[in-house]
Amino acid sequence: MNKKIKIILWAFFIGLIVIATWSLMPMKSLQNSESENTEDIDSDLIVVGFSQLGSESDWRSANTKSIQNALTKENGFSLIFSNGRQSQENQIKDVRSFIFQEVDYIIIAPVTETGWDTVLNEAREAGIPVIILDRMIDTEDESLYVASVGTDKYAEGKTAGLWLEKYLKEQKSGYDALQENDPFSEVTLQDESGQNTDIINIVVLEGTLNSTAQIGRSKGFEDIAVLHENWNILAFENGDFTKAKGKEVMLKYLQKFDDIDILVSQNDDMTFGAIEAIQEAGLKCGVNGKIKVISFDAVSKAFDMMEAGLINVDIECNPLQGPRIAQIIECLEKGEAFEKISYVKEQVFEAKDAGIERFARSY
Ligand code: GZL
Ligand 1 atom closest to Cα of residue 269: 11
- Which residues on neighbouring strands pair with residue 49, listed in sequence order? 80, 106
Pocket, ligand 1, Cβ cutoff 6 A: 56-57, 59-60, 134-135, 151, 207, 213, 241, 267, 269, 296-297, 317
What was the pLDDT predicted at 198?
A: 86
Residue 251 falls within a domain, yes or no?
yes
Judge whether 129 lies within some domain.
yes
Q: Helix count (H) and strand count (E) of the chain?
A: 12, 12
User: How far is C-alpha 268 from the chain's CA centre?
Assistant: 11
pLDDT of residue 281: 97
Residues 291 and 304 in one domain: yes
The string over 78-103, giving b where at least 16 C-beta atoms fall within 10 Å of a residue's C-beta and e elsewhere, is bbbbbbbebebebbbebbeebbebbb
What integer pLDDT is reported at residue 293 of this predicted model?
98
pLDDT digits (tens, 9 = 90+) for 135-176: 999 999 999 999 999 999 999 999 999 999 999 998 876 555
Q: Indicate if 143 and 239 belong to the same structural domain.
A: no
Co-location of 162 and 240 in the same domain: yes
- Any domain includes 355: no
Question: In whole numbers, what is the pLDDT of the chain averaged over residues?
Answer: 88
Range of the domain at 259: 153-317
Q: Which of 150-164, 187-201, 240-254 has the lowest mean pLDDT?
A: 187-201
Say how many Å lie between the CA of residue 38 and the centre of ligand 1. Answer: 29
357 located within any domain: no
Mean of the pLDDT values across residues 13-24? 54
The C-alpha atoms of residue 79 and residue 64 are separated, in whole angstroms, by 12
The total number of structural domains that make up the chain: 2
Same domain, 113 and 158: no
Average pLDDT over residues 121-128: 98
User: CA torsion sign, 96 to 98 to 103 to 104?
Assistant: negative
Q: Is the pLDDT of residue 191 over 50?
A: no
Distance 150 CA to ligand 1 centre (A): 10
pLDDT at residue 179 in the model: 58
Mean pLDDT computed over 291-297: 98
pLDDT exceeds cutoff 60 at 31: no
What is the average per-residue pLDDT within 250-269? 98
Judged against a pLDDT cut of 70, whether residue 18 lies above it is answered with: no
Instruction: Please name every residue paired with 295 in a beta bridge, in sequence order, or none if there are none.
Output: 265, 314
* Residue ID of nearest Cα to ligand 1 atom 9: 267
Residue 236: φ, ψ to 5°: -140, 125
Q: What is the largest CA-CA distance in the chain?
A: 118
Residues 85 and 158 in one domain: no
pLDDT number for residue 185: 47
Percent of all residues in the chain with a pLDDT value above 70, rounded to a whole number? 81
pLDDT at residue 172, as a whole number: 77
Nearest atom of ligand 1 to the alpha carbon of 151: 6
319 or 17: which leads in pLDDT = 319
**Residues 107-113: what's their mean pLDDT?**
97
5 in any annotated domain: no
Statement to judge: residues 139 and 160 lie in one domain: no
Question: For residue range 67-99, what is the model confidence (pLDDT) as tens digits?
Answer: 999 999 999 999 999 999 999 999 999 999 999
**Is 181 in the same domain as 298?**
yes
* 181 compared with 245, residue with greater pLDDT: 245
Does 80 share its domain with 226? no
Distance (Å) from CA 151 to ligand 1 centroid: 10
Question: What's the CA-to-centroid distance between 205 and ligand 1, angstroms?
Answer: 13
What's the pTM? 0.83
Kindly state whether residues 166 and 303 are assigned to the same domain: yes
Question: pLDDT higher for 23 or 291?
Answer: 291
> What is the position in ligand 1's atom list of the atom closest to the CA of 319?
6
Q: Is the same domain home to 186 and 197?
A: yes
In a domain, 60, yes or no: yes
Instruction: Please tell me whether residues 166 and 274 are part of one structural domain.
Output: yes
CATH for 142: 3.40.50.2300
Q: Whose CA is nearest to atom 1 of ligand 1?
A: 213
User: Binning pLDDT at 50, 70 and 90, where does residue 10 land?
Assistant: low
Same domain (yes/no): 98, 176: no
Which protein residue's CA is at the shortest distance from atom 3 of ligand 1? 213
Angle at 275 between CA 156 and CA 283, to 5 degrees: 125
Residue 19 in this model has a pLDDT that exceeds 80: no
CA of 15 to the centre of ligand 1 (A): 52
